[in-house]
Amino acid sequence: MENNIELRSEKVRMLLGKIPSRFLRYGSMIIAISFVVMIVIVNIIEIPVYDKYPLIIDFIPKVKKFIAPTNSYVTFKKVSTCTFEGDTICAIVSQTNSDSVYFVIAPFTGYIEPYVKNNGKVEKNKPFLAIFPINPEKLLFKTRVPIAKIVDFQQNIDVIVELSDKNKTQLNGTVAYQEPQASDLYLFLYINNYNKIKSWNSSNTQGKVLLLRSKQSLFKSIISK
């Protein structure tokens, strides 16, 4: 069998004999490290996942009554005859599940009239508190959600309200309180930035409510798409 004889020019033999540059020596390592860092970043960064529901616009009634979603204990945060918008008024604790707790946040400034004593009991679908608004002209937002879809619903969950006006106004807020009605749950929203609303025509203003469901990593979001 004949030996394989490779003929190379002098320049080629000189190049083959040279030690590779730093970039060539460490290039593979840099690429590998960059890839690992990228994977870590896309798994660390979390983005919110929202469910969309219809927006319902309503005016504050002359009195707002709060209804107990279950047989509960009512613990008032402070004993006062007046509350300010955004204040936490009381906590509602289920009689059958002490881990089921939600807080009632005042959707507007008003006068408080409790129907039960502090740490008292209230039956399901019975009122336990009323608020008489000081500024009844202010608007309220609410949405209707099937109860079956929010078994793990938590009070004070973040929401985004997107209006279909010409300015495409976007409002941020939280769920102030809830009211069960048949198979649905009405969620009343406390809006943080009402000052972004420039003009109103409640009869034809439409929009949607984005209810925060969970947060997931950027990687899972990309894969799910």
pLDDT at 37 > cutoff 80: yes
pLDDT tens digit sequence for 54-97: 888 765 556 888 999 889 999 998 766 778 878 889 999 999 88
Q: How far apart are the first and last CA of the chain?
A: 59
Distance of alpha carbon 112 from alpha carbon 84, whole angstroms: 10
Residue 74's pLDDT is 93
pLDDT tens digit sequence for 124-177: 999 999 988 776 555 567 888 876 665 455 556 788 888 877 778 888 888 777
Q: Tokens in use for 192?
A: 């943080």
pLDDT at 8 > cutoff 80: no
Comparing 12 with 208, the larger pLDDT belongs to: 208
CA-nearest of 202, 99, 83, 115 to 155 is 99
Residue 60's pLDDT is 55
Residue 195's pLDDT is 66
Residue 9's pLDDT is 60
Comparing 47 with 20, the larger pLDDT belongs to: 47
Most confident of 25-39, 111-125, 128-142, 202-216: 111-125
Comparing 148 with 178, the larger pLDDT belongs to: 178
Alpha helices in the chain (DSSP H): 10-17, 22-44, 218-224
Looking at residues 106-116, what average pLDDT do you find?
85
CB of 83 within 8 A of CB of 106?
yes
Q: Tokens in use for 126?
A: 């019975």
Residue 21's pLDDT is 62
Residue 123's pLDDT is 93
C-alpha separations of 26 from 34, 36, 51 in Å:
12, 16, 47
Q: Tokens in use for 175?
A: 């769920």
Vertex 53 angle, CA 51 and 56, to 5°: 150
Residue 183's pLDDT is 76
Comparing 122 with 147, the larger pLDDT belongs to: 122
